[in-house]
Structure 1
Amino acid sequence: MAKKYAEKLDRVTKTINLEQPDRVPFMGIIIGSWAAGYAGYTMKDIFFDYTKYDLAVNQVLQNFDFDCVRIAGGARPGPVFQALGESAKGFTTPGSQSPDDSILQYVDVSYMEAEEYPELIKDPFAFIFEKILPRKYPALRGNAPQQAIALAKSGMLYTKFGSAMRGFTQGWLNNYGNLSLTRGSARAPFDMLADFLRGFKDIMYDLRRYPEEVCSACEALLPLAIKGAKHSFGGPPQKFPFIYMTLHLATYLGPRSFEKFYWPTFKALIQALTDEGYGFLLFFQGNWNAYLDYLTDLPGDKGQILALFETVDMKRAKQVLGKKMCLAGNFSTELLLFGSSNEIEAHAKSLIDDAAPGGGYILTTDKSWLSVQDVKPEKVQILMDAVRRYGVY
């Protein structure tokens, strides 16, 4: 396993550093719900019995020899949410708020009123802690002793969850030579504001009605975003593994609004953390064809950013960004449900031809694998075989 890990690490790090390895790496994007379905468990199982999450991922890693993986969560700590009153309005809990086998569901909720922007801007941490969290979780709405008990209990349960996950991760490395690309996560300030405070619908109103407040709120949230990323990473800064960041709402804004509301604090976040030596795996959700030129101005040295795209003209992305950052993604997940073997192979070969010359490309799908009903295991294997056939340098 040590030899296998060393081979994968050499292949992947050369690719990330824009050097030419022996072949194009393939990255598996494993969501807990996909692993659970593959192993015969429900989402309720892995929410409340973490050992079943470990067993599920073990089965996946035993049967699929990925070059690298992003094990993208999916096992949310059910007992923590129960301790907080289980009313995490933004997400549903399998077994109580949704069926046992339902994948994670996001519900668009606004926890903050537009009139509260000044309070958020003045002290975002206090506002979130004192106003937003009690609105999300019933157990935090009582008197001070009740709040303290709920926080202490949920904190202990979350510590137990985190300890279990760290142990599982080490086991996956030891047992399967598993190379995980990420550790910790971050959020762009605009996404923090939109996803966790105002909600998708209301933030779109705010761009027209309260544009300066939105900009000021993003600036106020920037220090929290930096601190949160460092805390989730743990330990001293290092370029690899990467901090993971999903860029959620950027492409909903249009280029002009993106430049005003999203780009300044997103770029500042990347600047602050890459200056300290961290690296990023950035998942560019949506269609980024109109935004590629912005990304040429992202801070960071060669090898500090891995750009995972959902939808982009990969040939143009290689031309624009290929000398600055490693590229990944853009393989249609739909083909792993509806595609024939020939279609899967042809799409993989096309992406390799467009993005892999000279190194700097990791082939993976354009979306995470949510369900075995959406991404068929046998078609994942076809894709992996195609990468090994066509991706040799």
Structure 2
Amino acid sequence: MTDVVALAKEREQIFRDLFSGKTPKRVPVSNPATLEFAIQYYGEDLAEAQWDLAKAEPALDKFCKEFPTDTTPIGSIRPPAFYQLLGSKAIVMGSGGFMQHPEVTGMFPEEYDDFIAAPYDFIIETILPRLYTELDTEPNKKAMVLAKAMRAHLDDYTFVGQMRERVNAKYGMVAPAVALTEAPFDFLADFIRSFKGISSDLRRYPDKISAACEAVLPLMIKKGRLPDPAMLGYSFLPLHMAPYMRNSDFENFYWPTFKKLVEALADEGYNVQLFIEHDWMRFLDFLYELPENTIMRFEYGDPKVVAEKLGKKHIISGFYPITLLQIGTQEQCIEKAKELLDILAPTGKYWFQGDKSIVSVDETGNTGKNLRAVLEYVIENGTY
């Protein structure tokens, strides 16, 4: 067995232990910087490299060689061809080359009853043509547009998968499979009614929101499934709206179907990772009630309180402030990593990740230098 193969097996076992509730050999480490960061860091044009992914691979290779990590640092890259062919208004490329999600509305409030009656049909027949303008056409042309877009999507993600396999084989990293889904309330807010629309609907159509969340729940369960529950991977839920809601609204409208979703996926044998965006400290008692070993990546909050309340039952991650990598000294950045290790590693269920992903470089170059130092420190000192 080569050293690289042995390293990959060791890393895989670390994650299998973590996901099953066992204390692994050491704290697993994921690089919070993404492929978008790597492309820019090594001098490639971000927009151009996303159109021609072959130009991204040399940057990814150098990134994996120079920045120690257990998992492949690809992140949630969205190749733009698929979205341009569909005439997307929901995901668009900004002037800096980043794929962005602007505020969009796919459904009007007077259409709640139609959505509730048949959410999948309504999404296909009404919402998609509104958000993807090239689908707003006669059936034969729509089929051709969709076929071209799906061909581009398949080609791009096949290349991304092959690129990931090549760097994994070279550097002994692991790439847990990921299925992306959303809490039903967040799904309504993101692409159906918009953040502004759903906030208004809480006052005007509360009963319809509850019914819509229940109606879309089976679709969110389906989106969260991996091909095989036993594989190394997880269902990923980025959580958006809860911090902006009143406690009573969270409890009545957000929590019920969110909890059902996580429980359903856990019951089917899937690991679940939550990206707990913004500040959820007032909802920690709710989070405790989720199935054991739910992975919780926190953006903000008090890690000591989280460790005390959740650390014995759940897997804790996040908290490391990526802004510190840009503005802090190397000593300050390493000290913060040490602080989080001291607080969270004793739970036996700590996964080192940033409080969010790093997608852009800074002019000073501090982020790259400090990031490398922090990753090296955690890899070397995160033993149990």
TM-score by structure 2 length?
A: 0.93
Identity, % of aligned positions: 34
1:310 alignment partner in structure 2: 299
Kept after mapping to 1: 8 A contact 2:36/2:359: yes
Query: 2-side partners of 1:78 and 1:20: how far apart?
Result: 40
Structure 2 residue corresponding to 1:32, chosen from 27, 35, 39: 35
1:193 alignment partner in structure 2: 188
Query: 2-side partners of 1:376 and 1:272: how far apart?
Result: 39
Match status 1:269 vs 2:261? yes
Structure 1 residue corresponding to 2:328, chosen from 316, 324, 339: 339
Shift of 1:340: 1.1
Alignment of 1:206-217 (within 5 A): 206-217=201-212
1:81 alignment partner in structure 2: 83
Q: Which amino acid aligns with 2:74?
A: I
Q: Which amino acid aligns with 1:187?
A: E
1:90 alignment partner in structure 2: 90
Kept after mapping to 2: 8 A contact 1:70/1:181: no
Deviation track 1:330-359 (CA, whole Å, cap 9, x = no partner) reads 011111100112211221121111111152
1:42 alignment partner in structure 2: 45
Aligned length: 379
Shift of 1:376: 1.2
Q: Which amino acid aligns with 1:332?
A: P
Q: Which amino acid aligns with 1:78?
A: P
1:183 alignment partner in structure 2: 178
Query: 1-side partners of 2:274 and 2:73: how far apart?
Result: 12
* Residues 1:388 and 1:156: Cα distance change in structure 2 (over 3 Å): closer
Kept after mapping to 2: 8 A contact 1:80/1:158: yes
Shift of 1:182: 4.0
Deviation track 1:23-53 (CA, whole Å, cap 9, x = no partner) reads 3332112333212112222231232112223
* Residues 1:358 and 1:258: Cα distance change in structure 2 (over 3 Å): closer
Deviation track 1:146-184 (CA, whole Å, cap 9, x = no partner) reads 111111211222222232222223223212111224422
Q: 3-state DSSP class of the match of 2:320? A: coil
Shift of 1:18: 4.3
Q: CA RMSD in A?
A: 1.9
Kept after mapping to 2: 8 A contact 1:25/1:363: yes
Q: 3-state DSSP class of the match of 1:219? A: helix
What residue ranges of structure 2 are gaps of 5+ in the alignment?
Answer: none
Alignment of 1:230-309 (within 5 A): 230=225, 233=226, 235-238=227-230, 240-299=232-291, 301-302=292-293, 305-309=294-298
Query: 2-side partners of 1:275 and 1:225: how far apart?
Result: 15
Match status 1:122 vs 2:117? yes
Q: Which amino acid aligns with 2:53?
A: Y
1:148 alignment partner in structure 2: 143
Q: 3-state DSSP class of the match of 1:328? A: strand
Q: 3-state DSSP class of the match of 2:144? A: helix
Greater alpha carbon shift after TM alignment, 30-39 vs 323-332: 30-39
Query: 1-side partners of 2:272 and 2:60: how far apart?
Result: 24
1:380 alignment partner in structure 2: 371
What residue ranges of structure 1 are gaps of 5+ in the alignment?
Answer: none
Q: Which amino acid aligns with 1:40?
A: G
Q: Which amino acid aligns with 1:13?
A: R
Kept after mapping to 2: 8 A contact 1:182/1:281: no
Deviation track 1:341-382 (CA, whole Å, cap 9, x = no partner) reads 221122112111111115211222101111122871111012
* Residues 1:16 and 1:142: Cα distance change in structure 2 (over 3 Å): closer
Shift of 1:267: 1.0
Q: Which amino acid aligns with 2:45?
A: T
Shift of 1:128: 0.8
Q: 3-state DSSP class of the match of 2:99? A: coil
Kept after mapping to 1: 8 A contact 2:311/2:347: no
Match status 1:138 vs 2:133? yes
Match status 1:104 vs 2:99? yes
Q: Which amino acid aligns with 2:376?
A: D
Q: Which amino acid aligns with 2:289?
A: D
Q: 3-state DSSP class of the match of 1:357? A: helix
Query: 1-side partners of 2:202 and 2:361: how far apart?
Result: 38
Query: 2-side partners of 1:268 and 1:320: how far apart?
Result: 21
TM-score by structure 1 length?
A: 0.91
Q: Which amino acid aligns with 2:16?
A: T
Q: Which amino acid aligns with 2:90?
A: G
Q: Which amino acid aligns with 1:368?
A: S
Query: 2-side partners of 1:236 and 1:181: how far apart?
Result: 12
